[in-house]
Amino acid sequence: MDQIRIRGGNPLRGTIQISGAKNAALPLMAACLLSEEPLVLSNLPHLADIATMSNLLSELGVNVSMNGAAPGGHGGRVFKLDAAETSDTIAPYDLVRKMRASVLVLGPLLARQGRARVSLPGGCAIGTRPVDLHLKALEQLGATIELSEGYIDARAESGLRGGHVVFPMVTVGGTENILMAATLARGETVIGNAAREPEITDLANCLTAMGADIRGIGTDTLKIHGVDRLHGASHTVLPDRIETGTYAVAAAITGGDILLKDTRADLIEAVIDVLGRVGVAFDETPAGLRVSRINGGLHGVDLMTEPYPGFPTDMQAQFMALMTVASGASMITETIFENRFMHVPELRRMGADINVQGRSAIVRGNQKLSGAQVMATDLRASVSMVLAGLAARGETLVSRVYHLDRGYERLEEKLSACGADIERVRDAG
Ligand code: UD1
């Protein structure tokens, strides 16, 4: 398996192009199943998870064609997704186990085809992550759901009907699944305690362009008036706020100065706020978002992960790497996932001083990190080790690079263009 080798210590300076958001692209791709007319999506990132979703859609009979990339070389890709003749309603275990977001085909399949058989995703490295809330909500829209042989068997032969769904906890994927299903349900659906992540707003805007009637976009109450059919549309995927935040941390941890292009500060206000308290300056310029460390170093601060607009759980591991080299102590509390401190033992092997107490981690800063061989269990944990490696003395070797390839497009290329000493070591086997 490939590894990433980093020799730390170089302050990063230069420009990084931010890609389209993976977590927006995946539900947007699933939305093509709602219409018999094609959906054209641009600014799609070139990532393993996007390929997995393409494979799943192809398996369901969707004609997926790549209409090239946007001009300028590294711009996002353009996909045409044509679900005129869907042939299957089964999402098999082999694809769903690779990527939990595969479950996002459930709502659209059920709404348009009246049935769906989708493998249960099972556990993952950061917790049990059930889909019970998706299923309960679909039942409230009139679906009959049975679990058998590891699959979700969902039926709504005479169509879904509108209903009132209040999620007992904020769920991003649950909100997306029900929002898509409700666009074709008879009558009105109200989703209370809906997730408000920008990726949901992006999905709702695309569905609106396809002819859906959605009110309350961007709020925690979505009102959807079902329509008979949706039509084709073209939509541009919004910038990846987690990639933006990750490279902002790269600038901070190396004492560098990076211009992040084609992104939006308003997507990461909570991250900007916290990093500002740490000692990182953000400057919105016509050329992009400039991130640099303010003279005087980094200061430890406390934070808690929360649903949007709070501090995102997907930035927690990266922020922890940063706190290991800041002055003073910081407390990082994870409230979204039950087991999202898997990066702690690996960061400790690089010299970090971190103690976990239940759902909080106490990080004692001022540590001189040193390179080590490390491996990660998930995407954001992996990238936290890359960030620590950029600041560490000596050589860091990160294995299980496939995690990084799921969510970071051309990571080593983007970082080395800013002066990082980083390369992919190909497995000879
Ligand atoms: C999405 C993101 C992921 C991010 C997460 C939280 C995608 C593809 N992934 O994941 O990167 O970390 O939001 O911002 O967009 N839960 C239940 N039952 C359910 C559904 C969720 O108990 O039916 C729990 C989960 O276990 C978790 C919490 O709710 O503890 C939040 O999960 P959710 O918001 O649904 O995350 P995902 O949509 O899976």
**Could you tell me if 177 and 137 are in contact, meaning their C-beta atoms sit under 8 angstroms apart?**
yes
- The residue type of 47 is L
Ligand 1, atom 39: closest residue by C-alpha: 173
Q: How far is the CA of 111 from the centre of ligand 1 (A)?
A: 22
Task: Check if 313 has its Cβ closer than 6 Å to any atom of ligand 1.
Answer: yes
Cα–Cα distance, 89 to 97 (Å, whole number): 17
What is the rounded CA–CA span in Å between residue 183 and residue 201? 14
Contacts of 35 (CB under 8 A, 6+ apart): 83, 112, 210, 229, 230, 231, 232
Active-site choice (32, 124, 206, 418): 124
164 alpha carbon – ligand 1 mean position (Å): 21
- Residue 237 per-residue DSSP state: P
Ligand 1 pocket member 336 (CB < 6 A): yes
Structure tokens at 27: 């539900």
Q: Is 100 in the pocket of ligand 1 (CB under 6 A)?
A: yes
Residue pointed to by tokens 């970071």: 408
Ligand 1 near 13 CB (within 6 A): no
418 in active site: no
Residue 383 identity: V
* pLDDT 10s digits, 279-316: 999 999 999 999 998 877 899 999 999 999 999 999 99
Closest Cα to atom 7 of ligand 1: 23
Phi, psi for 287 (deg, rounded to 5)? -80, -15
pLDDT of residue 376: 80
- Tell whether the torsion through CA atoms of 39, 59, 409 and 308 is positive or negative: positive
* Whether residue 271 has pLDDT greater than 60: yes
Quick check: CB of 26 below 6 Å from ligand 1? Answer: yes
The secondary structure of residue 35, as a DSSP letter, is B
Residue 127 has pLDDT above 70, yes or no: no
Q: What is the pLDDT of residue 1?
A: 80
Determine contact, residues 400/48, Cβ cutoff 8 Å: no
Shortest-distance Cα residue to atom 17 of ligand 1:
130
Question: Of 185 and 97, which is predicted with more confidence?
Answer: 185
Structure confidence at residue 211 as a pLDDT band (50, 70, 90) = very high
Average pLDDT for residues 132-150, to the nearest whole number? 95
- Give the per-residue pLDDT at 9: 94
Q: How does strand 164-166 pair with strand 213-215?
A: unpaired
Tell me how far apart the alpha carbons of residues 265 and 271 are, in angstroms, rounded to a whole number. 9
- Give the residue, by CA position, lying nearest to ligand 1 atom 1: 172
Q: Whose CA is nearest to atom 4 of ligand 1?
A: 314
First to last CA, the chain: 8
Tokens of 37: 């007319």
- 404-426 pLDDT, tens digit each: 999 999 999 999 999 999 999 98
Mean pLDDT of 342-350: 95
Q: What's the rounded Cα separation, in Å, for the pair 400 and 402?
A: 5
Pairwise CA distance, residues 325 & 33, whole Å: 47
State the distance from the centre of ligand 1 to the C-alpha of 165, rounded, in angstroms: 17
CA distance 232 to 230: 7
pLDDT value of residue 128: 60
Q: Residue 92, CB half-sphere, CA atoms under 13 Å: how many?
A: 10
For a pocket test of ligand 1, which of 165, 171, 318 has the largest count of ligand atoms closer than 8 A to its C-beta? 171
Q: Which two tokens stand for residue 290?
A: 């400039």
Decide whether any atom of ligand 1 lies within 6 Å of the 171 Cβ: yes
Kindly tell me the burial class for residue 225, based on how many C-beta atoms sit within 10 Å of its own C-beta (0-12, 13-18, 19 or more): middle
Ligand 1 pocket test, candidate residues 172, 178, 242, most atoms within 8 A of CB: 172
Predicted pLDDT of residue 130:
87
Residue 126 pLDDT grade (very low, low, confident, very high; cuts 50, 70, 90): low
